[in-house]
Chains A and B, each alone.
Chain A
Amino acid sequence: RKEVEQDPGPFNVPEGATVAFNCTYSNSASQSFFWYRQDCRKEPKLLMSVYSSGNEDGRFTAQVDKSSKYISLFIRDSQPSDSATYLCATAPYGNNRLAFGKGNQVVVIP
């Protein structure tokens, strides 16, 4: 079983909508969670880190439900510039390794 599962999409959403991405993870020992943004043919860039139940930065909110092993990312008032692939990651191994999901691809349509 994979450590982190994501539905790859793509998800097409209209500009201004709230977008929600979800990941599930398998190892209950995970205490740190991350969302990365990856543009086409570019490297992933760290978007948000979550060390408790949630984090918020502008239009972006990340939440973790540890009882369900569920990680969520919300983008409010989505913009065409938000179009990208969003990868979630956890730290389940007890060392510095991360487990990554395959990513959610979103296209925000003007």
Chain B
Amino acid sequence: DGGITQSPKYLFRKEGQNVTLSCEQNLNHDAMYWYRQDPGQGLRLIYYSQIVNDFQKGDIAEGYSVSREKKESFPLTVTSAQKNPTAFYLCASSTGLAGGRRYEQFFGPGTRLTVL
């Protein structure tokens, strides 16, 4: 059953701690994305990766880091430098191949991070 998994579903962190959110896909997609969603803010792109071992900053990368060592995995670390980390974090993937359907992104179930 192909899809995108994110873990954990809920995460609580003390202020000042780094935390890593997991994202795994078995869709054989080349491109992966991390978004943050806050109430009334819509989806904001944090980082994206179009191919293994390469990634680019999105619109709000400050305070976050990523790695892309394997095609199926794209973990996101929320560092203590992120001022307001409490949010709903969504991972997505797309084929990344040439052609119109390369833009279709499919989302994981998300992780709700709360900083205490």
Contacts and interface: CB of A to CB of B under 8 A. Distances in A.
Interface in A10-56: 31-32, 34, 41-46, 49, 51
Interface of A is mostly: loop
A88 B8 CA distance: 28
Interface residues on chain B, size class = 20 to 34
Interface string B83-116: 0000010100010100011111111111010000
Interface residues of A, number: 23
A96 B100 CA distance: 10
B100 A32 contact: yes
A43 B41 contact: no
Interface string B3-47: 000000000000000000000000000010100000011110100
Interface of A: 8, 31-32, 34, 41-46, 49, 51, 87, 89, 91, 95-98, 100-103
